[in-house]
């Protein structure tokens, strides 16, 4: 007797759909994983990119699962945006990462997912929250990769919850459009400098690029790059920039909103570039952007795919913050980027202080 795997898949899919049709309030998706040496830097701090990748995987699972609870085209949810993400505490080798994702709002064509990350010390059982993130996904048809699928609505506890979600949706939609208009199609190459001729603590001395060929293991069922893979590469480049500037142990402190302007296909060459934009007394802001070059469709040229600002801090051997060497600005363009970075720094600082006051 022949084993029809597709038939078995369809059978279980119909069962799942029938069970899900009862209501669209899902149990949070959860995953656990022990942090290994290859997840961390040389002093044992888990890379921010590793955590971002786990966050995106959880968000992708629950949003794809939700969008397939209705009849019609099968689909895969693609990451469109990650809101500002703070790294509240560092995670270390040997700790267990607990990742929990829950859908909190749906529009006609997008899903908002809230993800929490906890670090567990398996020796004592103590847990602490290390990350909270908000992600937005858009579902694309498996039959037609350019077709966006309508999202099944979720049930809200009350009308206020739905209205608050709609406000968040409208705000992120507006910011995504503004960011795409500002950065979407403009390519500013970051040329690898001759560090023998560049002064230390300048933008040119620390700026860095990484080249990556997109392979099958980087991609979703649609043949496009996982958002988590892209974010991990971005964090690696930002970390190199920060380390070159400080020459100390550095860790990710936060990531401003990450906007995914265009999808990246399998076979593309990615150029992930980072440059220092601003330094405060104890932090560094690094601008990171991802440019994609499609080898198969070379006539279409390269394009800006993703942009974000990463903030890093420098730590001593005891894990305490160290002063950051001031950034030396060499021209008007660098001065302008630094002023914009300072404005973001002051805005985020004021927001954190306001949130602390509200919690008292």
Whether 311 and 347 have beta carbons less than 8 Å apart is answered as no
Pair of tokens at residue 168: 């968040």
Cα separation, 133 vs 127, whole angstroms: 18
Whether 101 and 247 have beta carbons less than 8 Å apart is answered as no
Q: Among this protein's residues, is 299 annotated catalytic?
A: no
Cα separation, 275 vs 168, whole angstroms: 30
- Active-site option among 41, 183, 302, 348: 41
Whether 151 and 108 have beta carbons less than 8 Å apart is answered as yes
Pair of tokens at residue 230: 């892209």
Q: Among this protein's residues, is 235 annotated catalytic?
A: yes
Task: Give the long-range contacts of residues 289-296, CB within 8 A, separation 24 or more.
Answer: 289/183, 289/188, 290/230, 290/233, 290/234, 290/264, 291/187, 291/189, 292/262, 292/264, 292/265, 292/268, 293/268, 293/269, 294/265, 294/267, 294/268, 295/267, 295/268, 295/269, 296/265, 296/267
For residue 201, give Cα distances in angstroms to 136, 206, 241, 308: 36, 7, 11, 22
Cα separation, 179 vs 309, whole angstroms: 12
For residue 184, give Cα distances in angstroms to 33, 133, 232, 260, 335: 35, 24, 20, 9, 22
Cα separation, 244 vs 80, whole angstroms: 31
- Active-site option among 68, 116, 131, 235: 235
- Nearest alpha-carbon partner for 267 in 215, 343, 336, 335: 215
Query: For residue 83, how many other CB atoms are within 10 A of its CB?
Result: 19
Cα separation, 248 vs 317, whole angstroms: 9
By annotation, the residues acting in catalysis are 41, 235
């Amino acid at each position: 007797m022949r084993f029809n795997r597709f038939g078995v898949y369809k059978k279980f899919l119909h069962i799942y759909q029938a069970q899900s049709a009862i209501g669209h309030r899902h149990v949070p998706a959860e995953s656990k994983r022990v942090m290994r040496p290859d997840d961390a830097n040389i002093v044992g701090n888990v890379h921010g990119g590793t955590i971002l990748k786990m966050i995106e995987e959880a968000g992708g699972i629950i949003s794809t699962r939700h969008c397939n609870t209705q009849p019609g085209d099968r689909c895969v949810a693609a990451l469109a945006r990650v809101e500002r993400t703070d790294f509240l505490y560092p995670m270390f080798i040997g700790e267990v990462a607990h990742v929990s994702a829950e859908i909190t709002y749906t529009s006609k064509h997008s899903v908002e997912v809230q993800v929490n990350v906890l670090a567990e010390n398996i020796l004592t059982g103590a847990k602490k929250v290390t990350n909270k993130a908000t992600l937005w996904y858009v579902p694309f048809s498996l039959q037609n990769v350019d077709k966006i699928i309508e999202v099944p609505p979720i049930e809200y506890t009350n009308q206020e919850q739905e209205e608050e979600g709609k406000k968040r949706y409208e705000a992120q939609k507006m910011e995504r459009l503004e960011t795409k208009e500002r950065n979407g199609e403009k390519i500013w190459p970051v040329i690898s400098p001759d560090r023998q001729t560049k002064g230390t603590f300048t933008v040119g001395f620390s700026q860095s690029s990484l080249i990556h060929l997109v392979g099958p293991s980087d991609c979703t069922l649609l043949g496009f790059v996982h958002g988590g893979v892209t974010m991990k590469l971005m964090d690696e480049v930002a970390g190199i920039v920060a380390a070159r500037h400080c020459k100390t142990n550095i860790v990710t402190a936060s990531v401003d909103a990450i906007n995914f302007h265009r999808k990246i296909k399998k076979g593309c060459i990615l150029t992930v570039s980072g440059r220092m934009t601003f330094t405060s007394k104890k932090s560094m802001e690094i601008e990171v952007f991802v440019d994609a070059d499609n080898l198969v469709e070379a006539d279409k040229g390269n394009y800006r795919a993703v942009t974000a600002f990463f903030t890093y801090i420098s730590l001593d051997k005891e894990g305490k913050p160290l002063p950051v060497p001031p950034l030396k600005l060499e021209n008007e363009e660098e001065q302008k980027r630094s002023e914009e970075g300072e404005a973001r720094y002051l805005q985020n600082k004021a927001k954190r202080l306001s949130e602390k006051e509200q919690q008292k």
